[in-house]
A and B are shown apart, each in its own frame.
Chain A
Amino acid sequence: MSDSTPHSSHIPAEGPAVGQDEWVARHGERRLLRGGRLGKLEERLRVVPWWVWLILFVAAFSLLPVVESSGYVRRVAFDTVLYMLLALGLNIVVGWGGLLDLGYVALYGVGAYTYAFLASDQFGVHLPTLLAVPITVIIGALVGLLLGLPSRRLTGDYLAIVTLFFLQLFQTLMTNGDSVFGHDLTGGPNGILNIDPFHIFGHDLAVQHGGVFAVSYFYLALAVFAVVYVALRFVNLSRTGRAWRSLREDPLAAEAMGMPVNWLKLMSFSFGAGVAALTGTLFSALNASVFPLTFYFILLIVVYTMVILGGSGSQSGVVLGALIIGPLLELLRDPGKARILFYAALVGGVVFGFRRSRTLGIVSGATIAFGFVMHAAASAHDAAWVAGDKASGFGGAMAHWVVVPAHLASWVQPTTYVGLIGLALLLTLVDRRVRIVLLVPTLYLAAFVWENVMLANPEPMRYIVLGVILVSLMILRPNGLLGERRVEIV
């Protein structure tokens, strides 16, 4: 039964030994098949070395201010770079160390505030940048170290509690720090203002040129990002990275093989904190002010979603996650753009869900028809029922399909919202045919809820979207976009 033609590029030309290695040899193929289309793409792209990707990415990103002169876009770009840095840092702790650090953004805050202490009028200390930043990073790493120490053997649950409480504590301390025994230490809820900008090569990095966001900080942040990325990649490829991976696999075996598991976990915690603190200095210097509320639960979930979406453990993944979520959050602020995004997602979801199937046509057609029928019925009943908010352009066009009443009774919002959730959850329970039938009214209801409930409240709406993404990810694709599919022995 020996075969002279290789089945995959991994087998030596003489073929696998009879009866023994066939299954193993086909491993590469099987993995390819399991990964689906995304997996095949990954395989092809895997050949490209990581630093090529990095160079391409940084080059492309740095062209952004050239192409786009809007201060707003540049500002969002800068924020996204900060998110990317935060994601990289969290990846060290969660992805490599395997620790659930729920206080991470407090360490970001520690960095931001420490820089503010060292470079503003708060204490009258104005250290030069090249001193203030490293000191802040070291302090951040130290605080991380101290935070990790008491959690005995850093078992997941206890660490989660301690770190989450630290998040709360940081908030309280910074908010109430404006009257500690009569001294104003932290500026309280109004924070610290007039923080020194970075002073490099003899120049203060200007935040604005004539009212428009200047790019110097953006390029600085991008440079910092590139350096941190490379440094972390090197660590991951070294014996420390190997040890981190080992302790993620099996901490007991790792310890038995000579790896100091507790120390390694502490190191990952501390390093993550250091990266967060570094990002904090960038934040402080650019914004020239810090407030406690920035560094709280919402930001924590945002960064976590980025890391999970991108794939915890994968550096490129978490950066991708930040690139997606950061701008997404911004886009969702504007109802017009949010509307477009929603319908794009709806259409995309249906197309992707029913690709290669005739049902696609049925579902799409039925939903569209259903919509027009409902709309006609509603307007026939009472013209006011479809006379709401006729935005121009896309929104106006969609208002001929979705029912957008002029006035909403107060019970409509909660009822339809909860109803939509109920329907969506129900869809996961029923069998295929019922699901297809139910999908039509659900999609329409979703459009209704989006237009009438969600778009009216962009703030919580953005975060609801994030929450849904996070939960769905954990259930459907816990390894995220670029994370590796792991084999676990429970």
Chain B
Amino acid sequence: MGKLLELKGVSLSFGGLQVVNDLNLHLDEGEIVSVIGPNGAGKTTLFNLITGIYRPASGDITLDGRSLVGLQPHQISQRGISRTFQTLRLFLNMSVKENVMAAAYGHTNAGIFRSMLRTPGMRREEREIEQLAQERLAFFGERLMGYRWDQPAYSLSYANRRRLEIARATASNPRVLLLDEPAAGMNPSETHEITELIAQLRTDGGYTILVIEHDMHVVEGISDRVVALDHGVKIAEGSFETVATNEKVIEAYLGLQTTATK
């Protein structure tokens, strides 16, 4: 299986601060890779670089060998990369259903004029989009279905909002999913559920997943591989055990002269 997503020598700085420094990262098709690191390590910046919100000062980011650098975020999304956000960015005043349907924009094409006339082609596409939304939401069981369909997103509980964001991200039919702290703020049972869900996304959905997480239980439960970042530099890579016991990783999280406890 070839490398699906690859970052080669990517660097970025804001003013004098080097946020990402000569980063090499790759994602093989079907993998689940976790990115860990203390706050400020550059993890979300990494996601922003991949999705085109920031442009790398040097280096290249490729999907299937084709470069993504310089593309607009919506173009990158249409190429097959989708994401969730650390701070949750749902379309709060839109309904649950609409949030998911909205993300289907990139792979549909009923234009404004066809919409004005409501051509049969446009109506067919609308039905397909709605069906797609239903499928994606059904992934989470009954939670986001039924009467929740038409409720505005702001009425959802926190955990449901996180789930909705993931559902929305899958609606653009991506190949790669970037999940930014999907378990943040969840209680243990919800965290356990999310862990299973991410695994299910790979097996049932076929997505290749890059996850930023702080909760090591989740990381341990899902990862094929773990990458540790600190101050924009990759300091360790490998299986969970390898990385968790790596000296530099422990130092980054806890400081010098501390023994690891697991």
Contact = CB atoms under 8 A, between A and B. Distances in A.
Contact flag (A, B; Cβ within 8 A): yes
Interface of A: 10-12, 20, 23-25, 27, 231-232, 234-235, 237-243, 245-246, 249-250, 252-262, 267, 271, 484, 486-489
Contacts of A11: 147
B74 interface: yes
A54 B155 CA distance: 31
B53 A238 contact: no
Report whether over half of chain A's contact residues are helix, strand or loop; otherwise say mixed: helix
A249 B165 CA distance: 14
Given A24-B151, A240-B112, A245-B94, 10 more contacts: A242-B105, A245-B93, A249-B90, A254-B102, A256-B83, A257-B105, A257-B171, A262-B72, A487-B92, A487-B154
Contacts of A23: 157
A267 B151 contact: no
Interface residues of B, number: 51
Pick the most buried of A234, A256, A259: most chain B CB atoms within 10 A of its CB: A256
B103 interface: yes
A257 B115 contact: no
A484 B95 CA distance: 13
A249 B157 contact: no
Contacts of B171: 257
B73 A255 contact: yes
B116 interface: yes
A246 B89 contact: no
Contacts of A259: 74, 102, 105-106
B247 interface: no
Contacts of A256: 51, 53, 73-74, 77, 82-83, 85, 89
Given A253-B85, A256-B73, A486 B93 contact: yes
18 contacts: A12-B147, A24-B155, A24-B157, A27-B151, A231-B116, A238-B110, A239-B102, A239-B125, A240-B115, A242-B94, A245-B93, A250-B90, A256-B74, A256-B89, A257-B105, A261-B74, A267-B112, A487-B93
Nearest to B129: A239
A182 B104 CA distance: 56
B218 interface: no
Pick the most buried of A231, A239, A486, A488: most chain B CB atoms within 10 A of its CB: A239
B157 A239 contact: no
B108 interface: yes
